[in-house]
Structure 1
Amino acid sequence: MAVELTTEDKLEYNFFPNRSGYFQFRVKAANDAHIALSTAAAEVDPMYEIFIGGWGNSRSIIRKNRTKPDVAEASTPGILNDNEYRGFWIRFGNGSVAAGREGEGQPFVEWRDSENVIVEYVGVCTGWGASGNWIIEQAGSSPSAPPAMGGRGGFSSVCWVPASNGQVPPSSFAGGEDNGEQVYIVRSNFGGGVIPGKLVPSHNVAYVPWGGTENAVPEYEVLCDFNGSWLACNGANIPANAVPAGQSEDGEPLYVGRVVHDGNLTVGKVQPSHGCVYIPYGGQELGFPDYEILVQ
């Protein structure tokens, strides 16, 4: 769901709950579109700030705890425009903070912190002579609805359809194969998180990898109406256009990956902090550092 917002020239943040690890928006401003990543709906430490188009729309920076020196800086002349919307994404989690332009996979500014700050809220504001109009792709109120880049107008078109007991909704996205049978991409609430996994329809259940085990789940959500693709990936090098599909019990964003094992192409979860994809297979949770990741 997109939220439209106008911010005045006040440098006062408007906060939204967001634990997804991803934030996407469009903004129309002459300069100084500011984004805060905070542990509360307020300016409290620890907190990150990303200033896009600061210093007269010439530079973008990342700052921690509202203090100088800035921890990262990039030259970005003309990155904002007060007559047209410009799209951006912010990715955060496991000490990493990155910002990039809509439609581009590589960030224009990024930084890795030795401290792992658990971001709970994202704030936006404008200042230094600029007001702003924003279109914000709002994160879900629960971890079952993380956002993803892509789709109409560059915003999320990822669709998850509830199903159960082996049901395959129309337009389900097939991501693998098990003994000649198509395997579909699912996610399910399990172990305090929302875990990506696989659906083998003939088994009448879906499976998610968690706690070292292949866990059968009778109720799940299936990825539908999706036109993404797969990209070769290694370890924790998550591409910016990877599709967030859930989160761990600790709030870490999880992605969809797949790997060939035992002659089958099996879908599972990518957990960046572990540097691998985990697949549910043969009663076990198996990890692989080299895999394909779902992107959009």
Structure 2
Amino acid sequence: MANIMDVQTEDNLQYHFFPVSHGSVQFKVRTANDAHLALTMGPQESDPMYEVFIGGWGNTKSVIRRNRTKPDKVEVDTPQILNSGEFRGFWVRWDGGVVSAGREGELIPFMSWTDPEPFPVAFVGVCTGWGATGTWKIEDGAEFDTPDKLEYKFGPAAAGSLEFEYRGPHNAHLCLTSAAAEVDPMYEIILGGWENTQSVIRYCRQKPDKVTLPTPGIMHPNEFRKFLIEWRCGRVMVRDGSSGALLMEWVDPAPFPVTHFAVRTGYGARGHWRIRHFGSGAGGQQLPPPSAPVAAPLYSAPPGYPGAGGPGGPGQWIDMSAGQVPPGAVVGGQDCNGEPMYVARAAHEGAVIPGKLVQSHGAAYVPWGGLEHGKPEYQVLVGGFNNWVPTKGSNIPPGAFPGGQSEDGETLYIGRVRHKGSLITGKVQQSHGVCYISFAGKELSFPKYEILLS
């Protein structure tokens, strides 16, 4: 367990900051009301900044706020959530832009918000105010128990990886789902089952198991064992968390978007867990923070690009490269592992083609000539609009945003479709009556799609 830091906060709304090494913090606080946390890039109040207020407004409500501005991003009723006479335990996580807060021992958050423009958090600040003083015991990382009961405890899976440590005699069960419930489709991973003799990957709670591996003695009742679960576009992998060695792997031919995970123990076992989940790129490495400067100095739309104009307004195209994402980038879709896809475009064969940017790949992709083309240099759409409407064929609705042009000079629009568990952005060519996307090396066409309006 991480070291515990004791902090006293006065009734003055001044944050006490400390560094954090990863995307969660667990704490206990004793106060009558208004336990405030700030998540920042540095050890001071500065934008960008998330604030999590627990037990505000006389211990009646809790909110998530960004950059100290209203309206609040989330507001929930939490009457008497704090107590001046006893410590109450909570956790706060920030993973892949998902900011969530929950009670100690509960994996399902009581409030959560997804930031379309996430930033790397390096410091956490705590304070109290509005008539309250507080005593805090702060730890980084969540730890909890599961009873000998085959009931899953659910939590949000921000993106493609989940790292955990488990201490128990056998039967560490973990599932990946598209909802906070046991619903199909569903992946299940059982480690140390059958009296700590074998481990399996199971699909939709059905037998035969997709993978079976002899693992005698993989778990221990008095020692934490570390594991890493990864899922990307249907590829489910289980690794030894210490060595990185691949233990089990299975590829789902019809993948689905994983949004939640859950854990449980049973068959005579109680388990103790430490869990860390985070957004990842290939190989389970954490995504680098956006490294681009602000958009204005970088704006240089080439002559003839549709939508060209001055920086700062909606619908501007910003030069980027090697996976860079500018502030305010339009999120148009989502990879099947949960990673966001940004609206991008690039020049190819005399055309300017809308496509997708996947940050962890370090490139944008555009569809052309039946193939998917990777582009390390590209432009990203920046603006305040993100209005998608369904349409089909050559029906281009009024206000559709022009995103490029074909090699013949025809205007290309920005569309998106759902395919193989992903929501993928691409180009709409009216004369063809379809939306084209790039996927797995190919250009695919769809007569029904959503189109972006300005």
TM-score normalised over the length of structure 2: 0.39
The code of the aligned residue for 1:182 comes to: P
The code of the aligned residue for 2:337 comes to: H
- SS of corresponding position for 1:182: coil
Q: Say if 2:51 and 2:68, in contact at 8 Å, map to a contact too.
A: yes
Structure 1 residue aligned with 2:55, among 53, 56, 64? Answer: 53
Q: CA deviation at 1:79?
A: 0.9
In structure 2, relative to structure 1, the CA distance for the partners of 1:71 and 1:59 (3 Å cut) is same
> How far apart are the structure 2 equivalents of 1:246 and 1:70?
25
Q: Say if 2:102 and 2:108, in contact at 8 Å, map to a contact too.
A: yes
> How far apart are the structure 2 equivalents of 1:105 and 1:236?
13
> How far apart are the structure 1 equivalents of 2:238 and 2:137?
28
> How far apart are the structure 2 equivalents of 1:29 and 1:124?
12
The code of the aligned residue for 2:286 comes to: D
> How far apart are the structure 2 equivalents of 1:273 and 1:7?
43
> How far apart are the structure 1 equivalents of 2:101 and 2:338?
21
Q: Say if 2:30 and 2:135, in contact at 8 Å, map to a contact too.
A: yes
Q: Say if 2:143 and 2:275, in contact at 8 Å, map to a contact too.
A: no
Q: Say if 2:10 and 2:133, in contact at 8 Å, map to a contact too.
A: yes
Higher RCO (Cα < 8 Å, 6 or more apart): 1
- SS of corresponding position for 1:56: helix
Structure 1 residue aligned with 2:80, among 78, 100, 121? Answer: 78
- SS of corresponding position for 1:15: strand
Which residue number corresponds to residue 93 of structure 2?
Answer: 91
Which aligned pairs between 1:113-152 and structure 2 lie closer than 5 A? 113-137=115-139, 139=140, 147-150=141-144
> How far apart are the structure 2 equivalents of 1:37 and 1:179?
42
In structure 2, relative to structure 1, the CA distance for the partners of 1:7 and 1:160 (3 Å cut) is same
Which aligned pairs between 1:67-216 and structure 2 lie closer than 5 A? 67-137=69-139, 139=140, 147-150=141-144, 175-176=191-192, 177=198, 179-182=213-216, 184=218, 185-186=225-226, 197-198=239-240, 206-208=243-245
Structure 1 residue aligned with 2:285, among 227, 237, 249? Answer: 249
- In the alignment of these two chains, the number of paired residues is 205
Q: Say if 1:28 and 1:132, in contact at 8 Å, map to a contact too.
A: yes
- SS of corresponding position for 1:81: coil
- SS of corresponding position for 1:79: coil
Q: CA deviation at 1:100?
A: 1.2
Q: Say if 2:48 and 2:67, in contact at 8 Å, map to a contact too.
A: yes
Which 5+ residue runs of structure 2 have no aligned equivalent? 146-163, 173-190, 193-197, 199-211, 219-224, 229-236, 250-255, 265-272, 279-283, 289-334, 340-420, 422-454
> How far apart are the structure 2 equivalents of 1:63 and 1:107?
16
> How far apart are the structure 1 equivalents of 2:86 and 2:54?
15
Q: CA deviation at 1:84?
A: 0.8
Cα RMSD (Å): 3.9
Which residue number corresponds to residue 238 of structure 1?
Answer: 261
- SS of corresponding position for 1:117: coil
In structure 2, relative to structure 1, the CA distance for the partners of 1:187 and 1:109 (3 Å cut) is closer
Moved more, 69-78 or 102-111: 102-111
1:46-88 residue CA offsets vs partner (Å, 9 max, x unmatched): 1100011111111110000011111100011111111111111
TM-score normalised over the length of structure 1: 0.58
The code of the aligned residue for 1:77 comes to: P
Q: What is the percent sequence identity of the aligned residues?
A: 41
Q: Say if 1:46 and 1:65, in contact at 8 Å, map to a contact too.
A: yes
In structure 2, relative to structure 1, the CA distance for the partners of 1:118 and 1:2 (3 Å cut) is same
1:86-108 residue CA offsets vs partner (Å, 9 max, x unmatched): 11111111111111111223222
> How far apart are the structure 2 equivalents of 1:196 and 1:186?
11
1:205-255 residue CA offsets vs partner (Å, 9 max, x unmatched): 94446xx9xxxxxxxxxxxxxxxxxxxx97131359974357653369xxx
> How far apart are the structure 1 equivalents of 2:138 and 2:126?
10
Q: CA deviation at 1:124?
A: 0.7
Moved more, 102-111 or 33-42: 102-111
The code of the aligned residue for 2:285 comes to: E
Q: Say if 1:89 and 1:100, in contact at 8 Å, map to a contact too.
A: yes
> How far apart are the structure 1 equivalents of 2:215 and 2:45?
52
Larger Rg: 2
> How far apart are the structure 2 equivalents of 1:103 and 1:92?
18
Q: CA deviation at 1:179?
A: 4.6
